[in-house]
Structure 1
């Protein structure tokens, strides 16, 4: 099948190559094939703006020549999945993937494809490094420095060897080298955060030059604003600085160690506002931090204080109306409020109220088809909790708008308990805002009144919260 598609690509390239104008020669061809597609389209975008939507034919193939493509990182989506690629005028790139293993199966070929393949390889290596952190962040700082130095050197050597073969443009070489640097910085920053927050003995052993890269940071690199490693670094850097402030300036008992406290959120928002000049980058982090602050606020005063922070820095980002809507949603989910009348759609397509699902106390968890890794992980944990706490009713709520059949297919494909899986039926609620609640669970008494609206599956005290809920 891949060979058949390769002939398809060659044919298109030959056809478009017959044209003589410089404009045509500078065009960029994008084609591909998606096995087991979720939907019939492939969306190319940049800076959160859609460049084009390419539709799949009867063979699940797509292809189009695009004009006026600027060199840089582009995002492509086959909802709910997405990835990045690097495009320049004159490239003819073929994308092949199987949705059953989206990132692992993804393959780029054709003229200019080596750039996207390099970025994909970086992504997969970073995923492995994230797992590595779980084992390595407790080791001596000097050893960790050696490991990260080795990773950086290996990637630089690979890029150098690849460039000798591919003759990359200067713009891509600059981006690739910077991306390696910021991935390296990210590893160092995560380690610094973890040991300073949790392992003071190791923190005391961090060499003076461990974070020497900080003097060379550029928080306004618009070329990297679509590169996840760069954005992840800035997010972790702000987080680390907030912890260092606690250690250096404040009482160690201060709640600024609590990342979701209003004090910590305010400090990081002010940092982002002062360190980042480019609004398109700055607003990414102010928006993220405000969302965190709102989602984890447990009273109306804290919610209002987060909005107050935005007002004091004169935040005018396009997401401000959404943040205000989110503040309203969060106020509805505070303890003491009743959501028993929330309408849901059952697997059998019947409308039911949340309070009528069970006579037991209820724990709701929330998921989206657009976050497959999340719902697989989440449902595995929920299955164990159901066995461990039969006194509780664990109710799954899918937040996606529409897509009823896709929802049912997923419930069946992953052997979810279809008698306890429901779909949200509230058209007045902004679905995109609800995605920020995927990590939260809501504890309800038998009358539908919220007892706890801030529990998370991935926190150390989660089961203690369950026991307290059972004993109330």
Structure 2
């Protein structure tokens, strides 16, 4: 009997009943280990437990609002479980490094999680009291992943035709949530978040369409009707219930991105500075926009973090780096976070073309420390990755594999920025990359690892001695291969 059921639109791997029975036994064992709770205590507490097949690390981390609440260690059977007291209702994140996903919890829930790291998101199964909420959000996530790929083929459509396509998806999802609500009496907070997950993904598609047509299909952009963005009138830019929900934050990012180029003259070419998302002009505009729309300090600071680090890492002059810092100093940005960005600003100044990073210490898969300039005597391009951004990682690896075939005279060197152990990193490299010998782990950093995520889209072109020739190129840029050829021409 097959253990999997996979649909074309939602490739979720489902468990047979006996596997769910095994989860129930895990729960009973955990209850026994932790002691007997009264019925009243059970109603107020929340149990989280489960089993991880093919674990990549020895722990399960629970967090909320980017704050770690607890770390549960796997036992000899790769199982874990614990009662939690005082957990508020809402979205939580669980990590099994390097993977992560969300779940929904409220007091009295007893959630059991089974997953296989070989297909992390697709294999996750929630069971137990309250599991249907997490199930719905996970199914929504997997559907959104599929639709995001599918929707890319819709951007050359006329606005009216595009709207019909995504309106159909939107109606289908609303029918699903309505059926779910009819089956059980869910809390108002969960219903709000579930509906928000549907609504903001719909808005996200509209923002992406508006951005791409304005940048690449200007004639279509002129056909966008006046009511296309009517939903913007009702957007809450500082929802505390949603501020860590990926659907919501993705939409806000898209909104800022689209607004930044709405000011561009449609007669300008896409390559113009106005359409460059990493230009200091656009980043400054988005910082000012966030300052005007958001009053909640925590949410506002999260956008300052991203926009500020983006502005710094893509600056190619000391003057523009300083201008980003000066702009943030004029806002009410958290001083501690601003100091971290100031550290990044100093690091970025050392990464401008003409500087030498040949002595950067890295760790190879054998655990040896090696200097960047010792890796290759060829022209070298470094790229940077993190398994915390899984989809980006796989997309990046495919591009690098193709580039290595096309440009054998260049060495492409991968640098991982994760703060995991050498053993965990080495295992991922051996399993997931084609050339482990050209993959390295950053063993030392002067800045916060989270801020280093701003470098994930950047590459550095360096010569055999470690001098930076170009430091602003991106793998997803249409001009990337032209830049490689220009780089190679220096050696001919």
Please report the TM-score for the alignment, with normalisation by the length of structure 1.
Answer: 0.94
Aligned match of 1:352 in 334, 353, 370? 370
Distance 2:99 2:213 in 1: 33
What whole-Å deviation, never above 9, does each CA across 1:122-166 have from its counterpart, x for those lacking one? 111111121022101111111111122222211111111111112
Aligned match of 2:404 in 386, 389, 392? 386
1:316-327 correspondence to structure 2 within 5 Å: 316=334, 318-327=336-345
Q: 1:395 corresponds to which residue?
A: 413
Structure 2: stretches of 5+ with no match in the other structure: 1-18
Q: 1:81 corresponds to which residue?
A: 99
Aligned in 2, Cα 1:253/1:440: closer, same or farther, shift over 3 Å? closer
Q: Does 1:157 align with 2:175?
A: yes
1:398-409 correspondence to structure 2 within 5 Å: 398-401=416-419, 403-409=421-427
Structure 1: stretches of 5+ with no match in the other structure: none
Contact 1:369 1:407 in 2 (8 A): no
What whole-Å deviation, never above 9, does each CA across 1:244-301 have from its counterpart, x for those lacking one? 1224999999622211111111111111111112122122112111111111111111
Distance 1:302 1:184 in 2: 36
1:59-74 correspondence to structure 2 within 5 Å: 59-74=77-92
Contact 2:306 2:454 in 1 (8 A): no
Q: What is the number of residues matched between the two proteins?
A: 472
Q: 1:450 corresponds to which residue?
A: 468
Aligned in 2, Cα 1:174/1:409: closer, same or farther, shift over 3 Å? closer
Q: 1:284 corresponds to which residue?
A: 302
Q: 1:107 corresponds to which residue?
A: 125
Aligned in 2, Cα 1:177/1:393: closer, same or farther, shift over 3 Å? closer
Q: Secondary structure at the match of 2:101?
A: strand
Q: 1:205 corresponds to which residue?
A: 223
Distance 2:336 2:432 in 1: 37
Contact 1:246 1:254 in 2 (8 A): no
Distance 2:215 2:149 in 1: 19
Q: Secondary structure at the match of 2:71?
A: strand
Q: 2:253 corresponds to which residue?
A: 235
Question: Aligned-pair distance for 1:392?
Answer: 1.7
Question: Aligned-pair distance for 1:348?
Answer: 3.6
Distance 1:370 1:195 in 2: 30
Distance 2:32 2:88 in 1: 22
Distance 2:331 2:269 in 1: 26
Q: 1:168 corresponds to which residue?
A: 186
Question: Aligned-pair distance for 1:21?
Answer: 6.1
Distance 2:391 2:337 in 1: 26
Q: 2:113 corresponds to which residue?
A: 95
Q: 1:308 corresponds to which residue?
A: 326
Distance 2:365 2:34 in 1: 49
Question: Aligned-pair distance for 1:347?
Answer: 3.4
Distance 1:220 1:432 in 2: 22
What whole-Å deviation, never above 9, does each CA across 1:366-408 have from its counterpart, x for those lacking one? 2234344333332332222222222222222233345222232
Contact 1:85 1:116 in 2 (8 A): yes
Q: Secondary structure at the match of 2:362?
A: strand
What whole-Å deviation, never above 9, does each CA across 1:337-390 have from its counterpart, x for those lacking one? 011122223334333322232222111222234344333332332222222222
Question: Aligned-pair distance for 1:429?
Answer: 5.0
Aligned in 2, Cα 1:415/1:330: closer, same or farther, shift over 3 Å? closer
Aligned in 2, Cα 1:170/1:419: closer, same or farther, shift over 3 Å? closer
Question: Aligned-pair distance for 1:79?
Answer: 1.2
Q: Does 1:133 align with 2:151?
A: yes
Q: 1:362 corresponds to which residue?
A: 380
Cα RMSD (Å): 2.4
Contact 2:309 2:451 in 1 (8 A): no
Question: Aligned-pair distance for 1:434?
Answer: 2.6
Question: Aligned-pair distance for 1:415?
Answer: 5.1
Contact 1:336 1:450 in 2 (8 A): yes
Aligned match of 1:220 in 232, 238, 241? 238
